[in-house]
Amino acid sequence: MCKLLTYQEKIVCKRRMRFPLTMYLIIFVSASVVFYQYHLSKAWMISHNNSQQFRDLGASSVEKGANYTYYASKNIRQAEPFSINNPHIPPLYIITPTYRRPEQLAELTRLAHTLMLTPNVHWLVIEDAQRKTDLVTDLLERTGLSYDHLLAPMPEIYKKKKKGPKPRGVSNRNKGLNWIRQNAKNGVLYFADDDNTYDLQLFKEIRYTKQVSMFPVGLITKLGISSPIVRNGKFDGFYDGWIAGRKFPVDMAGFAVSVKFLLDRPKAGMPFKPGFEEDGFLKSLEPLEPYELELLAENCTKIWVWHTQAKRNEPSQPLDFAKYNNTNLVVLKHILV
Ligand SMILES: *[C@@H]1O[C@H](CO)[C@@H](O)[C@H](O)[C@H]1NC(C)=O
Ligand SMILES: *[C@@H]1O[C@H](CO)[C@@H](O)[C@H](O)[C@H]1NC(C)=O
Ligand SMILES: *[C@@H]1O[C@H](CO)[C@@H](O)[C@H](O)[C@H]1NC(C)=O
Ligand SMILES: *[C@@H]1O[C@H](CO)[C@@H](O)[C@H](O)[C@H]1NC(C)=O
């Protein structure tokens, strides 16, 4: 078509030919985008309607095999039933030690909102403090979760300790275990510290723990992970950056225990031994051997929990109350540490 022309004319001719092609391309791409957007917005609407429906039906729903399993769209997560007392699935007792520090409310907010998406949870929030923090009480109340807000201050002998790490969270977790002994009959317990990130899949899987289940925890030590080693579908040791002669070299977030299994072992508890809390607790669940552990997260090939750890923040600077009297800053300052 562009024959017999000068070089200049050839270029102009070729450009003319390319122009309509570009136009077609633009039209095609625009149409695709509009079509995609339409489907996306529809999916959002369905998912919104759907989540409302799930809230309404929450109390009578089941986690697995719910008869209204409803996929709003392939790329929007399946809505989970919101419920507290669901008789069809075992209850989960989540033990969370916490203490007042700049990150506390931020971390508890994140964990609370994860648990709000998990059915049949009872949350034991246990503060290392002499009295309950009102702001924590307010947060718990607003979540609508089933919970108990307890206190378990660290014993003075450990608090006074000047050298080395303190056994943080131990009296809290033992308090949680005692609560379970007195109030629970079945279900599963899990130590969920407030500084981790949890995939909802974790709660779906640990709920059916028969004795003690284990799974990988991401972002631990220089290895980046703490996990049982699985070879040919069977337990074959532990991978952890700090073995230290432990029988169970695992992280606090890396295992769940059946309530019945705990109740059968009245002496089980956590030692005030920094670094050896997990090992001490798991050993106190004797008889229990590593090969008996239930390996979750698809033979420990998935990471459903991360040891995120927020950056440590300095306490906020004092507020000049004379300058900012009668402003919102006074209210905000009371929330901060
Ligand atoms: C959402 O629900 C409203 C009222 O219940 C209904 O009119 C609307 O069609 C629904 N939207 C979708 C996308 O299903
Ligand atoms: C579906 O769920 C409803 C409400 O929980 C229940 O009454 C009904 O029996 C369920 N149907 C089936 C087929 O499971
Ligand atoms: C775990 O591995 C074993 C052996 O390879 C296999 O039979 C089993 O199906 C796996 N389980 C899961 C949940 O992937
Ligand atoms: C702040 O203002 C109130 C009255 O609005 C006053 O009673 C109080 O003394 C003031 N406080 C300071 C620190 O200036």
What is the identity of the amino acid at 150? L
The dihedrals phi and psi of 99, each to the nearest 5 degrees, come to -150, 155
Nearest to 89 by CA among 224, 213, 188, 233: 188
Where exactly are the structural domains of the chain? 1-44, 68-306
Tell me: the pLDDT tens digits for 285-310?
Answer: 999 999 999 999 999 999 999 999 88
**What pLDDT sits at residue 144?**
92
Question: Residue 94: its pLDDT value, please?
Answer: 98
43 lines ligand 1 (CB under 6 A): no
Over the chain (337 residues), the average pLDDT of each successive run of 10 is 54 57 76 66 43 37 35 34 67 97 96 95 96 96 95 94 91 98 97 97 97 96 94 96 96 98 98 96 97 97 94 93 94 93
Name residue 11's beta-bridge partners: none
pLDDT tens sequence across 175-215: 999 999 999 999 999 999 999 999 999 999 999 999 999 99
The distance from CA 94 to its chain's CA centroid, rounded to whole angstroms, is 11
CA–CA distance, 319 with 326 (Å, rounded to integer): 12
Residue among 278, 294, 298, 314 flagged as catalytic: 278
- How close is the Cα of 130 to the center of ligand 3, in Å? 48
67 lines ligand 2 (CB under 6 A): yes
First CA to last CA distance, the chain: 77
Q: Is the dihedral of CA 253, 256, 262, 263 positive or negative?
A: positive
- With the most atoms of ligand 3 within 8 angstroms of its CB, the residue from 296, 299, 301 to mutate is 299
Please tell me the distance from the alpha carbon of residue 300 to that of residue 226, in angstroms, as a whole number: 10
Confidence (pLDDT) at 15 = 56
Secondary structure letter of residue 326 according to DSSP: T
Ligand 1 atom with the smallest distance to the CA of 45 is 13
Q: How many CA atoms lie within 13 A of 40 on its CB side?
A: 6
- What's the confidence (pLDDT) of residue 78? 37
Tokens of 146: 């089933």
Please name which ligand lies nearest the alpha carbon of 327: 4
The hierarchical CATH code for the domain 68-306 is 3.90.550.10
The total number of residues shown for the chain amounts to: 337
Q: Which atom of ligand 4 is nearest to the CA of 325?
A: 1
**pTM to 2 decimal places:** 0.71
Residue 236 in marked binding region = no
61's tokens: 């729903």
127 among known catalytic residues? no
- The CB of 322 under 6 Å from ligand 4? The reply is yes
